[in-house]
Structure 1
Amino acid sequence: MTSRVYLVSPATSASLRQARFDDGGSIDDAGAVRARAAAGSLPSAVRVLLSPSVRCRETAAALGLDGTAVPELAGLDVGRWRGRTLDEVGAAEPEAVGRWLADPDCAPHGGESVSGFCARVAGWLSGGAFADGRTVAVVEPEVVRAVVVQVLGPPLSAFWRLDVPPLAVTELSGRSGRWNLRVGQPLNPAGAASAP
């Protein structure tokens, strides 16, 4: 049986707009309005999963989804950089940021390396929990990046080359070990036609 997994990125928030590492803040009013307008536009699902962040939980609620938070879907742990902008960190620790962006095994912030994060998400993806139909997962943008890297198999440096806009859907079809991708579909208001 072919499984389908719909990864939905969270609605806009102050931290997303400011290129700030997630600070645990809420989605903004505009993001909530867009998410509520898109409620009902996703296919029905056997299960709804969430990154445990505030913005993913609030996005799911605005979309009318009741889901379960999954620890393996937590965003990349950036340690002491949490809540700061990349520009702030780059000004204070330029060498550390340079190493972090160039070496997927590096974690100068004291949190999680990109390679460790991608391995965590890959473990979730290969866990076989999708054998019985559709799954909708509202997840952090970096979770979507890690899934795309896992499915397509490029070097880990490709992680930084993937942009994930707010309220975009990345669809996986297939099964563990053999997934196909449809990337970055905008989540349209319910009843609106999607682009081909």
Structure 2
Amino acid sequence: MTVRLTLISPATSEALREVRFDDDGPLDPAGVARAEALAHAVGPSPRAYASPSRRCRRTAEALGLPAEPVEALAGCAMGRWRGRTLEAVAAAEEAAVAAWLSDPAAAPHGGESLRDLRVRVGAWMDGLRDDTGRVTAVAEPDVIRAATVHALAAPDAMAWRLDVRPLTAVHLTGRAGRWNLRAGEPLGQP
């Protein structure tokens, strides 16, 4: 049997609109309403998971998914940058931001590197047994980028080239460590 993994990005939040490193803030009311309106578009899944963040758990709830929080799907640990805007961090730590954006192994914020995130997410994906069947996970955008890079066996830096919009789905199918990708369709569309 093939694993059919659908990764859904969370609804909008203040942190997302402000381009702020996640501080585990809530969804905004418009994000909740949009997710609730799209609940019909998310098919039933015998296994549903979520990044442990409040916005991913709330998005899963609004979509009607009884999702189990999974630590392996947590967003990248951003250390001392957590809760700050990218603009503020870049103004205060220009060289550190440049290193972070150019070197997937760099973690100048004292948290987790992009490479470490991809390895963690990839290990979770590869741990899904071939007989798992359909799996749905509401995950942070950086987790979805890491999963996509892992699935394609692409260089870690490719994660910076992937846009993940709110409430979109990435579909991965795999067996024996080989993954295929169907990318980025909006929820509610075929």
Q: Normalising by structure 1, report the TM-score.
A: 0.94
Q: Which residue of 2 aligns with 1:186?
A: 186
Q: Which residue of 2 aligns with 1:154?
A: 154
Return the offset for 1:130.
5.5
Aligned length, in residue pairs:
190
Give distance in 2, aligned partners of 1:103 and 1:167: 29
Letter in 2 for 1:91: A
SS of aligned partner of 1:89: helix
Give distance in 1, aligned partners of 2:156 and 2:90: 21
**CA RMSD, Structure 1 to Structure 2 (Å):** 1.1
Q: Which residue of 2 aligns with 1:95?
A: 95
Q: Which residue of 2 aligns with 1:163?
A: 163
Q: Quick check: 1:111 aligned with 2:141?
A: no
Give distance in 2, aligned partners of 1:73 and 1:62: 19
CA contact (8 A) 2:2 2:174 kept: yes
CA contact (8 A) 2:2 2:130 kept: no
Q: Which residue of 2 aligns with 1:31?
A: 31
SS of aligned partner of 1:137: strand
CA contact (8 A) 2:3 2:128 kept: no
Q: Which residue of 2 aligns with 1:64?
A: 64
How do 1:8-47 residues align onto structure 2 when only pairs under 5 Å count?
8-47=8-47
Moved over 6 A (4+): none
How do 1:42-57 residues align onto structure 2 when only pairs under 5 Å count?
42-57=42-57
Letter in 1 for 2:162: L
Return the offset for 1:103.
0.7
Give distance in 1, aligned partners of 2:85 and 2:11: 18
CA contact (8 A) 1:60 1:67 kept: yes
CA contact (8 A) 2:105 2:113 kept: yes
Q: Where does structure 2 lack aligned partners over 5 or more consecutive residues?
A: none
Q: Where does structure 1 lack aligned partners over 5 or more consecutive residues?
A: 189-193
SS of aligned partner of 2:40: coil
1:40-79 deviation line (CA, Å, top 9, x unaligned): 2122111100100000011011111111110100000010
Change (3 A) 1:176 1:38: farther
Moved more, 54-63 or 120-129: 120-129
Return the offset for 1:176.
4.2
Q: Which residue of 2 aligns with 1:191?
A: none
